Amino acid sequence: MSPKMPDGRTMRDGQPVSARLNNVVTTEREFDELVTKSLPELLDRATSQTKRFLRETNQWGDDITHEKLALRWGYELVERFVVFGRTEVPCRPFFLLDSLIAKSFSQPDPLCYHKELLTPVGRFLDGLASRAVVSRDALIALFYHFYGFSQAHVVKLLGFGQAESQRVYKNFERWRQSGWQRTMNETGLSGSEIEILEQELRTRPDHLNNEVDRLMPVLQSHYRKSEPEHYPCLSEQKWGQLFHDDYGHDYRVWHLAFCRDCFLEVADRRHAEVSNGLKPQVNLHIHPLKKGGVLALFGGDRGGRHHGNTRAQRLSRTSA
């Protein structure tokens, strides 16, 4: 029977778990067992290195928001380490984690760090956009959270056919069931913070939407680099041609979700097919679209926005 350490952590071969992370692991099974037991050590190591990076790049503030940011990045690094590490045995787990972290932070502009993104609304937007880079569910949901577009409107806006429409509906469903909550949890937004955001959206919708409108270019310019390099912003004419000739479906989703200007241009161009004729605008939604909810798309013209009580989100039950 393995002896117990004072903190309850098991020992094997007379060594604590953290010491074994410095030794060579020779098989995938051994790697999985060791990593499963030492997740706290790995997370703390990745977090402390993220803090060091933030300090050295003068991006650190001694507050809980920065601590959460470092934890979030440490978590993402450890998640990759757990999966990639199995392919690197034999290896020394701590050394491998350090090299993975160093490689990540040596990328150009690895963190989306902006002081104004540390507010609750900034963190909410950052969490959504960051998740959308790796999750198609979150990507499709951006159209709702940023502009209030429902599944049907997304399908019409993007000009999708039957098969792609079904995928969009599936994306919305999965996002509603688990994706949104997981994203909020992993972003570090507590229930009370989300409540405060909801409250502010009810009382001062124009203020919050203006804030979102201001922060969106900062976010999108960082996360838009996740699309292939040959996907630049298109001219109005080329957008028209793309929809007319019916190609570049993947590009439509990725670029329009991450580029406000192109989205507004395309939505404006296609508003006859998509909406009731009013122009699209930024229209923040905190929670995911409820099941069966249908939204009236655009509330007010772009010159004089009307959110809040006059905001044209009208939910109606159309299906079970």
Task: Catalog residues that contact other proteins under the rule CB under 8 A.
Answer: 24, 26-27, 32, 36, 39-40, 43, 62-64, 67-68, 71-72, 74-75, 78-80, 82-84, 87-88, 90, 100, 103-104, 107, 131, 133-138, 167, 170-171, 174, 178-179, 182, 185-186, 188, 190, 225-228, 250, 254
**Closest to other proteins by CB, 257 or 282:** 257
**Closest to other proteins by CB, 188 or 308:** 188
Q: Are 76 and 188 in contact (CB under 8 A)?
A: no
Nearest distance from residue 112's CB to other proteins, in Å?
12
The strand pairing partners of 25, in sequence order, are 91
- Report the SS3 class of residue 280: coil
Nearest CA among 97, 113, 109, 82 for reference residue 49? 97
**Closest to other proteins by CB, 15 or 310:** 15
Please tell me what DSSP assigns to residue 59.
Answer: -
Nearest distance from residue 181's CB to other proteins, in Å?
11
**Closest to other proteins by CB, 89 or 312:** 89
Nearest distance from residue 163's CB to other proteins, in Å?
11
Q: Are 141 and 179 in contact (CB under 8 A)?
A: yes
Q: Are 76 and 175 in contact (CB under 8 A)?
A: no
CA distances from 140 to 5, 129, 145, 148, 185 (A): 47, 11, 9, 11, 19
Tokens 């809040």 sit at which residue? 308
Nearest distance from residue 95's CB to other proteins, in Å?
11
**Closest to other proteins by CB, 37 or 269:** 37
Tokens 């409250």 sit at which residue? 199
Nearest distance from residue 223's CB to other proteins, in Å?
10
Nearest distance from residue 40's CB to other proteins, in Å?
6
**Closest to other proteins by CB, 107 or 162:** 107
- Report the SS3 class of residue 25: strand
